[in-house]
Amino acid sequence: APLPPQPWNGIRESKNHGPVCPQKDIFKQVVIPGSEACLYLNVYSPDLKPSKPLAVMVFIHGGGYKSGSGNVDHYGPDFLMNHDVVLVTINYRLEALGFLCLDTEEVPGNAG
């Protein structure tokens, strides 16, 4: 079962991406260890205090529930920051760590 997050005090600086979830790179055929503590979202805004409301685009990466990350550079904010859009990307647990279902009492269902 997932462990509770480590608490922090004050404002949490979020200048870097969180870790990706453990996975196998489907193109290079190598294991990316990542971290089980990978449930992060990335929020990109062109301005911290915009003068008007902005549209919000939420992007959930593909990868067949086996690979991928919201951290990937080609999903990043560069293009959209010129168009007054807030971009949100997410990381979610993949493969058995996120979607294992044995239909038993011990592993009853989808925890993704």
Q: Where are the domains of the chain?
A: 1-112
Instruction: Give the pLDDT of residue 15.
Output: 85
pLDDT tens across 25-46, in order? 888 899 999 898 888 899 999 9
Q: Report the mean per-residue pLDDT for the chain.
A: 86
Does pLDDT of 112 surpass 90? Answer: no
90 pairs with which residues across the strands? Answer: 41
Model pTM score: 0.80
For 70, the token pair is 């919201």
Burial of 53 per CB tally in 10 Å (0-12, 13-18, 19+): exposed
Averaged pLDDT, 4-25: 87
More confident residue, 4 or 51: 51
Q: Are strands 55-59 and 41-44 parallel, antiparallel or unpaired?
A: unpaired
Return the C-alpha torsion angle 58, 63, 64, 66, nearest 10: -120
Residues in Cβ contact with 89 at an 8 Å cutoff, skipping those fewer than 6 apart = 41, 42, 44, 58, 59, 60, 61, 70, 71, 75
pLDDT value at 51 more than 90: yes
pLDDT of residue 14 exceeding 80: yes
- pLDDT higher than 80, residue 21: yes
> Taking the CB of residue 96, how many other CB atoms lie within 10 A of it?
12
pLDDT the model gives residue 58: 95
